[in-house]
Amino acid sequence: MTDFFQGWPAKNLATGILLLVLFLLALRLSRRAYWREAFREIRRRRGSMFCLAVLCVYLLIALLDSFGWCSPMRHPESGELMRHAQSQKILYDQGASALDRLLQPLRHKQEKTYSAPLATKQFFSETELDADGVPRRVQPALLYPRQHLFGTDRVGVDVLYQCLKSVRTGMIIGLLTTLLALPFAMLFGVCAGYYGGVVDDLIQYVYTVLSSIPTVLFVAAFMIIFGQGLAQLCLAMGIASWTSLCRLLRAETMRLRESDFVQAAISMGSSGRKIIMRHILPNVLHIILITAMLRFSSEVLAEAALTYLGIGVGADTMSWGAMINDARSELTRDPVIWWKLCAALLFMLGLVLPANIFGDAVRDALDPKLRQ
């Protein structure tokens, strides 16, 4: 089972479904005048459109890293296809994502150890024997001089490559956590607000219990039980964070329930399910989008912090948190190795800052209170 989910077909399928859902949602929304108008509002500000473009670039990198395939293994010298000895089936390698294939040159330009950004020589000098057998301190030349934009790390891997690979982790944390929390928050929040009474009390009790546990402690408990990993982190943060959205949706539904159009629908004999689907859900969608946008950046930041604390995505997933964590010990060296930290910081800021600004723009455009 785990083999199947680790494999590329499942990953590709999951990404495809995610894309399809997002696309359908966008299509649905673009038909409604309210949303079209809101988008026009956003488009009028040049700054927020620039932020959207940056976010799209990040999304593209993450998507490229999520699609992948396996290619047949070839003999390193003769170049002919390798086959299984008995069954004569073609053998495949582990596969690589589209991003890996694009970054192939970057991936294989590995140095021996640290090198500064765009340097021609290694950062630390080594002792070498010269022609006369006398040991001398020299800075060896790099294998690929002036080709590492952000330098290389301790084992000589290009830092830019690591940063690009971390984009997917950040995007998954930012998007998937909210996406996981959405169905629960929508179902429970709207039901609690619409039906009231015992249903409301029960749902309120559940989310008060969950929200009274500090998120980080909940994630810690989750991680010690299920182990570290990207999926576990998303799940833990999703469970811990659906409560706030649920509370918002409940309050908004309670307000909508008293509004004239819902009262009219009730008096005309519409069923509860129909009213919720037809009248209430479309009218709370803006809250969902605003919350998702505003939460995105805080979740990306939280991932870095949690990964540093050892309750994050674990060691086998590349992420900015892990990079910062590595870089921390390098700061104590003399001379200071600053590029890994700065690159991770830059890439993180490049995602979080546009997300914050765009989130604000979305809120301003969608929130009826702010619109007038």
Partner 1 sequence: MSAARPNMAGHRASTNAPHSTATRAYRCNLRIKQTFERFLDLCFHISLMTTYLLRRIAYMLPILLGVNLLVFALFFLVNSPDDMARQALGDKAANPEQIARWKEALGYHLPRLYNREESGLRCFTQTIFFQKSLSMFWGDFGNSDMNREPLGREIRKRIIPSLCLTLPIFLASLLCNIAAALYLAANRGSNLDRMAQIGCVLLMSVSTLIYIIAGQFLLGKQLRLLPVSGFLPGLSMLRFLLLPILVGVLSNFGGGVRFYRTLFLEEINRDYVRSARAKGLSENRVLFVHVLKNALIPILTNVPIQLLMLIMGNLLLENFFGIPGLGGYTINAVAAQDFAAVKAMVFLGALLFMLGTVLADICYALVDPRIRLK
Q: Footprint of partner 1 on this chain (CB under 8 A)?
A: 205-206, 208-210, 212-218, 220-225, 297, 301-302, 304-305, 308-311, 321, 324, 328, 331-332, 341, 345, 348-349, 352-353, 356-357, 360
Question: What is the C-alpha separation between 237 and 246, in angstroms, rounded?
Answer: 15
Residue 223 CB, shortest distance to partner 1, in Å, is: 6
**Closest to 167 in 3D by CA, of 13, 368, 39, 348:** 348
Q: Which residues are 136's β-sheet partners?
A: 128
Residue 218 CB, shortest distance to partner 1, in Å, is: 7
Residue 352 CB, shortest distance to partner 1, in Å, is: 4
Residue 112 CB, shortest distance to partner 1, in Å, is: 27
Helices of type H across the chain: 2-6, 8-30, 33-44, 46-66, 98-102, 104-108, 159-195, 197-211, 215-226, 230-257, 260-267, 272-275, 281-309, 320-331, 339-366, 368-371
Question: What is the C-alpha separation between 366 and 364, in angstroms, rounded?
Answer: 6
Say which DSSP state 144 is in: S
Residue 294 CB, shortest distance to partner 1, in Å, is: 10
φ, ψ for residue 72, nearest 5 deg: -65, 145
Nearest CB to partner 1, comparing residues 68 and 174: 174
Residue 351 CB, shortest distance to partner 1, in Å, is: 9
Helix (H) or strand (E) holding 68: strand 68-69
Residue 357 CB, shortest distance to partner 1, in Å, is: 6
Which residues lie closer than 8 Å to 234 by C-beta, 6 or more apart?
172, 173, 176, 177, 180
> How many residues can be counted in the chain?
372
Residue type, 63: L
SS3 for 70-132 is: CCECECCCCCCECECCCCCCECECCCEEHHHHHCHHHHHCCCCCCECCCCCECCCCEEEECCC
Nearest CB to partner 1, comparing residues 156 and 229: 229
Nearest CB to partner 1, comparing residues 264 and 349: 349
Nearest CB to partner 1, comparing residues 270 and 298: 298
68-69 and 126-129 beta bridge pairing: unpaired
Nearest CB to partner 1, comparing residues 189 and 359: 359
Nearest CB to partner 1, comparing residues 129 and 198: 198
| CA 152 to each of CA 138, 300, 331: distance values in angstroms, whole numbers, following the listed order | 19, 24, 15
Residue 273 CB, shortest distance to partner 1, in Å, is: 29
Nearest CB to partner 1, comparing residues 17 and 349: 349
Nearest CB to partner 1, comparing residues 271 and 329: 329
